[in-house]
Amino acid sequence: MILLAVMVSGQVAAAAEDLSVFHPVSQPASSIRDLFYLVLAITGAIFLLVEGMLIYAAVRYRRRAAANAQKAEPEPAQIYGSPPLEVAWTVAPLLIVFVLFLVVVRSVVEAQQANDDPPALRLQVIGHQWWWEIVYPGEQPEQTMRTANEIHVPASGDGQPARIEIELLSADLIHSFWVPRLAGKTDLIPGRSNRMWFTSDEPGIFFGQCAEFCGTQHANMKLRVVAEPREEFDRWLQNEKQPAADVPSAAAGRTKFLSLSCVNCHTVRGTTARGTVGPDLTHLMSRRTLAAGTVENDHDHLRQWIADPDSLKPGSEMPDLRLSPADVDSVVEFLESLQ
Ligand code: CUA
């Protein structure tokens, strides 16, 4: 029943944010699903066998109707030990457990596989309350690019698996990186560097979620993996690496933004804003969502997010600066120029 409910909810979720482990599009998610089905088949067969025998025995040997109960039933044959039977029910479970052990170990080794081939892309993901910082390392430190909550990666193409290798770190407490259609969960632990990898066999947007309770907005610590054909990914990366364009029509907003305490927490490359507490905003408008996937990144939400962050994400670390409506408008004007 529970399994059925899980599978049905998986189908329902497919319509919107598909977080179902039953629709893998990659390794190691596929082998995790296959392992689940194998273990389910073996344990399901055992369940049916044991329950079947139990029900059979209960029905076949139940106490008969009252008429028969009058005369004493003969005592059944008494059996004390049966070596062949005892050997059988000891050896059979041992063998089954051994087989399960082997397939699980094989999948775990596969999922942790230290592949010798250099990956198509190496990234760092840093967990924060309650958003994801994504670092695309450059050859030089100044070429390193940071974004938030939406991880662009190249999808596999031309039969060549594009393996993405991710180093997972945390800025505060334990989070867990989980994109069910791509890979299993891996924790982000303060003071520790964890690694995971996946390939994405088809282009698409794959939804993820922090999977380790980390406070008030844990449920709104969402992430997206945007897997694109190589050329599209390269184009995106090329744009992201540029410093923020100085758009003349947004000059007033830019001055306003740089005069506010926004700059203590946020970086906009190419300006004096160099804060590292909150997300890098250099190409904010290239992102689909705000506040770690809480809402669409559009004009109204952006305005609301700056004017009153708690109305969108209660408890969020983004402070309410109590800006006048005019100041909110200038800041939004500037942010919307960050394409
Ligand atoms: Cu981060 Cu839960």
Q: Structure pTM? A: 0.82
Q: Which fold has domain 248-335?
A: Immunoglobulin-like (2.60.40)
Q: State whether residue 25 is helix, strand or coil.
A: coil
Confidence grade of residue 101 (pLDDT, cut at 50, 70, 90):
very high
The one-letter code for the residue type at 65 is A
Structure token pair of residue 222: 């969402």
**pLDDT bucket at 120, cuts 50 / 70 / 90:** confident
CATH 2.60.40.420 location in the chain: 121-241, 248-335
At 66, is the pLDDT very low, low, confident or very high (cuts 50, 70, 90)?
A: low
Q: Which of 3, 30, 38 is nearest to 183 (CA)?
A: 30
Residue having the nearest C-alpha atom to atom 1 of ligand 1? 175
Instruction: Determine the Cα–Cα distance for residues 197 and 123; give it in Å rounded to an integer.
Output: 10
What pLDDT is stored for residue 69 in this prediction?
Answer: 55
The secondary structure element, H or E, covering residue 168 is: strand 163-170
Q: How far is the CA of 173 from the centre of ligand 1 (A)?
A: 8
pLDDT confidence of residue 90: 94
Outline which parts of the chain fall under CATH 1.10.287. Answer: 2-57+81-112
* Residue 65: predicted pLDDT: 66
Write down the CATH superfamily of domain 121-241: Cupredoxins -  blue copper proteins (2.60.40.420)
Lowest mean pLDDT, pick from 71-80, 128-137, 275-284: 71-80
Please name the residue that has the structure tokens 């946020």.
266
Kindly tell me if the per-residue pLDDT of 6 is higher than 70.
Answer: no
Topology (CATH) of 2-57+81-112: Helix Hairpins (1.10.287)
Confidence at residue 14, expressed as pLDDT on a 0 to 100 scale: 42
Atom index in ligand 1 nearest the CA of residue 215 equals 2
Q: Is the CB of 222 under 6 A from ligand 1?
A: no
